[in-house]
Structure 1
Amino acid sequence: MKEFFWWCSGVHRETLDRYPEEHSKYISIGATIFFTGLFAALAGGYALYFVFSGTSFAIFYALIFGAIWGLAIFNLDRYIVLSIDKSRKPWMQFLQALPRILLAILIGMIISRPLELKIFDKEIKEYLRAEYLVQQNAKIDTLNKTFANKYKVEYSQLASLKVQADTMESSIKTARQKMNHEIFGTKTEETSGVMGYGPYAKMKEAELIKQEVYLDSLRSRIQLKETDLLQRKTAEGLMNQRILSDKTLDSAINVAGFADRNAALSNLHKKPDGTVNKSTEYAVIFIALLFIFFECLPVFVKLMSGKDSYDNALKNQREIHDYESDTGVNVEKTAIDKIDDYRVEASIKRRMDKLQQEFAEE
């Protein structure tokens, strides 16, 4: 396990063996790199599983992508930690690690989102339930308004008939009251005051019957108009629009896509009255920050570690190898210069032999 974590940290084993006091330090760095890659594999695999959930190959895709993603992050962290030169000044080391830190922030934000969706799954479902009901009500209202505008004339005629029917009902009520006063001899400005079923009572009864017949005709026209509009609503599909039941809502929520769930998570901290739930808002932010910090952890560990004996040994070896490489070039140049005269003589001899052969052939 020690050698494995050393390999994860990218150390030169032969050099590190000479400094036992630094062994634990690089075991910790290697373990941090390894577990960051492992965590990235789990998070990336779950993210893809969430995208392909419901398909038969979702687990297979998640395993493949998770392994590739984890290895990529592991290799990137290992290279960055390995390439940080502790002999430089701290701000130079930070600039050297800055691209990886920026990339870690982006990766942390991407990976944290699917896991946040899973953490707040119950709250998201409740939010989607309320949101889908609001959307369905708004859809029904919009369809009804569109239908009302389309058949504005018919609705205007229906409203006019209903006004006439209401007026006629009020008139019939008044006429029946007058007829009763006439029959029972109640003296008013419009009755004779003579008790009995006389000519005036018969006349008022005849008027009342005419009004009732007209009211029946108005009601028939209203019913025909309402039936016609109802048939048109049915033909245009408005009657098929219903408030979603609990079973239908559960089915819609279970198949909700990433966009709907992501939008629900973004608006989860907003209450129906327009206020903001700070605890939920901070919880989402802190979880994202936790993932970002975990992604940056290998680089931070390397930056926080001080320059040690192993770093000094690596620096000295690197200087020796650089010098050896530079002197090797000088040696080769000197050797070439030393044999330059011999190369000239050999070239002259080769050309002379060629000329003698040409003359012999002639």
Structure 2
Amino acid sequence: MSRDFYQSPKSSRIMRLFWKAAGADRYILERSTYGDQVKYLCLGGIIVATGLMAGLAGGYAFYTIFEPRGNAIDSFKTTAAIGGNHDITDLPTMAKAVIFGIIWGLIIFNIDRFIISSTGKGDGTEDITGKELKGALPRLLMGAIIAMTISKPVEIRMFKTEIDIKLHEKQIEQQQVYKAKTDSVFNSELVKKDKEIEKIEMELSNKRSRYQTLEQNYIEEARLVTVGPRALAIKQQMDGLAAEIKALEANPDYLRVKKEKEAIEDRRAAALNQSEKYAAGLDGLLERIKIGHEISGPAISWFITLLFMAIELTPIFFKLMLIKSPYDYMEENIKELIKAESGIEIQHNFYQDQQGHERDKVVQHQVIRLLKEKIALLEAQSQLSAAALEHWKEKKKESIVANPEAFVAESKVPHNDVTP
């Protein structure tokens, strides 16, 4: 705006964008001072930055929750094929995380914009009174919650390397615990089957040992003399024992127990192969937050949270501390002009309610004027209707005087005596 004593600076597109983010009026700011323009530029910049950080934190949290589970260091996360440990990104999950991050960032941006634009300017002094703080308390609580939701994903990203190492150790421990439990469950079944098999195998072992002894005796006997009665008797014992061994090896109960044992061992092997998968399921957002607290300690964790709370709550406190500037007076002036143009009168502290709170009286003069016009119009219409009825009555009387027989005949006709 051109003046003799002051020239308002021209605004850039980015400046106007930040003004809109802060909920400021561009029309007034372009006619205000440079200090007001910078003030709302910085305020909008904080809100935009908070939205961007919320989007990044939300997207990272979404990716951490829904990424493919694996070894915290090797399986899905890193590879040495390209010269070191580098992150492998799951593209479908990354695309979903980007979409969620944008939506989440816009939600937080919109909430912050509403919080800041709806926060009043207090009493126009640098002091924050108890009444001002009480009025801003709901906005402060909402801002604190938003700050905490942003800080936690950022915190686990800051300590990602340390968290991955610690998480890898926990996954190994979890895998060993799972293997131990799996072995304890299947070993009890295997022991029962081994006892059943052991009885038959001991008998088989004895028979095979006897067969080997007989075979050795038969060979020695055949060397000394020609095959005689003694050698034939040994051969007959060997054949009988071989038949017994063959029958025992083909025993259905023995074969059944061996198959059952093999099935149990296969199930145990399959369960043990799943141990890495179950251990990889430990790689969740909650577990990473817990490990992050263990690594950083309460002091650093609270420091990061308080840092984001300061960023989130600073605009609210600053708005309460701002001294009234030309922008504020111009804004109030425009509001009063709009109210005056609309015929709105506010009589401040006009009465007290039942709780003793002072209330303003709002007089809608435009409404009152229209209401009075409507009442006057209805009253005029009522008076005209009464005059018309009176005039009709006089004319009716004149017609009766001129022809009373017609009026009497007309009045005697029943209403329901109508022939088609």
One-letter identity of the residue aligned with 1:235? I
Tell me the CA shift for residue 27 of structure 1.
1.6
Matched, 1:31 2:45: yes
Greater shift, 31-40 or 289-298, is seen at 289-298
Counterpart residue identity of residue 300, structure 2: A
Deviation at 1:319, TM superposition (A): 4.2
Structure 1's 149 and 234: CA in aligned 2 closer, same or farther, altered over 3 A? Answer: same
Deviation string for 1:104-123 (max 9, x for gaps)?
22223233333333322222
Q: CA deviation at 1:252?
A: 7.5
Write the distance in 1 (CA, Å) between the matches of 2:151 and 2:261.
51
* Aligned 8 A contact 2:167 2:283 in 1: no
User: 13, 17, 20: which one pairs with 1:4?
Assistant: 17
Contact 2:22-2:44 within 8 A present in 1 as well: yes
Matches of 1:138 and 1:299 in 2, distance apart? Answer: 51
Instruction: Assess if the C-alpha contact under 8 Å between 1:34 and 1:74 holds in 2.
Output: yes
TM-score normalized by the length of structure 2: 0.53
1:43-58 equivalences in 2 (<5 Å): 43-54=57-68, 56-58=91-93
The 1:24/1:287 distance shift into structure 2, 3 A limit, reads same
Show the counterpart of 1:72.
107
Q: Which runs of 5+ in 1 are unaligned?
A: 158-227, 271-276
Q: Which residue of 1 aligns with 2:147?
A: 108
Structure 2 gap segments, 5+ residues each: 1-13, 69-89, 197-256, 345-363, 400-409, 411-420
Distance (Å, rounded) in 1 between the aligned partners of 2:387 and 2:282: 84
8 Å Cα contact 1:140/1:241 also seen in 2: no
Q: Which amino acid in the other structure matches residue 307 of structure 1?
A: K
Partners of 1:233 and 1:353 in 2: CA distance: 117
2:381 match: 343
1:141 to 180, 184, 188: 180
Tell me: CA distance 1:330–1:301, structure 2 relative to 1, closer, same or farther (3 Å): same
Task: Tell me whether 1:303 sits opposite 2:338 in the alignment.
Answer: no
Q: TM-score, normalised by structure 1?
A: 0.60
Deviations 1:188-211 (CA, angstroms, capped at 9, x unpaired): xxxxxxxxxxxxxxxxxxxxxxxx
Name the aligned partner's letter for residue 141 of structure 2. L
How many percent identity over aligned positions?
Answer: 28
Distance 1:149 1:268, change over 3 A: farther
Return closer, same or farther for 1:235/1:48 CA change in 2, 3 Å cut-off.
closer
In 1, distance between residues paired with 2:288 and 2:29?
52
Q: Which is bigger in relative contact order (C-alpha 8 A, separation at least 6)? A: 1
AA in 2 matched with 1:103: M
Cα separation, 2, equivalents of 1:37 and 1:283: 23
How far 1:67 sits from its partner (Å)?
2.5
Q: Could you tell me which residue of structure 1 aligns to residue 311 of structure 2?
A: 294
* Structure with the largest fraction of helix: 1
Separation in 2, partners of 1:347, 1:68: 64
Partners of 1:69 and 1:125 lie apart in 2 by 26
